[in-house]
Amino acid sequence: MTGPVFPPQFADQLGSLLAWRRDVRHFQRLPLPDGMLDHLLDIASLAPSVGNSQPWRFVRVVSEERRSAIIAHVEAEDRQAAAIYDDDARAAYDGLKLHGLREAPEHLAVFCQTDPEAGRGLGRQTMPETPVYSVIMSIHTLWLAARAMGVGMGWVSIVDPAAMNSLLDVPDDWRFIALLCLGYPAQESETPELVRRHWQDRLPADQTRFIR
């Protein structure tokens, strides 16, 4: 069977998708259409995984109590995180919006089943952390697929992982990886928000590429 042939314009469009993918923290309150999140998770599940172990576990948080508990937890962690900065850095930190949990119609928690049966151990004997890498691949796939459909996604890591396991009542051998907000973005930009807000510029290539 021959697969699809991608026309040259496809590479350009893919480039724009990558350039316009953003971490989104400002959402419209509009819900996603029925079935859209499942469709996106089907696409995220096409990601590569060590030994084809597919260790991603996606938890869609729909209960109002749990959503509120997550928001309260993240806001408490955020205040603690702020405490390491002083003076100007503290003022800059306080000016950042680091999550859109209040407005985003969807909260999605992503876990890694650390020693899944699927894959039968293939590829992870010497690097037991590879299931985690696999989950991160699925999150990036989800991020791009969402953006391609006009849906924004934001990653929230100002979280105590153990608290997420207990708040969401998931097994102890599921390692918390990410809390994600999804919804329609309130604004779009080709420039990351942390660059626009002068928190952190993109690094010059010579600081990230080496030849040996």
Ligand X SMILES: Cc1cc2nc3c(=O)[nH]c(=O)nc-3n(C[C@H](O)[C@H](O)[C@H](O)COP(=O)(O)O)c2cc1C
From residue 182, alpha-carbon distances to 3, 45, 103 in Å are 31, 17, 10
Task: Report in angstroms how near the CB of residue 194 gets to ligand X at its nearest.
Answer: 4
Q: In this structure, how many other beta carbons lie within 10 angstroms of the beta carbon of residue 93? A: 17
Q: Which residue has the tokens 């702020």?
A: 82
List the x/- string, 107-146, binding to ligand X by CB under 6 A.
----------------------------------------
C-beta of 51 vs 99, nearer to ligand X: 99
The tokens describing 191, both together, are 């420039």
C-beta of 114 vs 157, nearer to ligand X: 157
For ligand X, which residue of 137, 158, 163, 186 counts as binding (CB under 6 A)?
A: 158
Strands of 37-102, DSSP E: 56-61
Asked if residue 112 lies in contact with residue 190, where contact means CB atoms within 8 angstroms, the answer is no
For ligand X, which residue of 73, 99, 147, 175 counts as binding (CB under 6 A)?
A: 99
Distance CA(13)–CA(24), nearest Å, equals 20
C-beta of 28 vs 157, nearer to ligand X: 157
C-beta of 51 vs 112, nearer to ligand X: 112
Residues forming contacts to ligand X in the complex (CB under 6 A) are: 22-23, 25, 98-99, 155-158, 192, 194
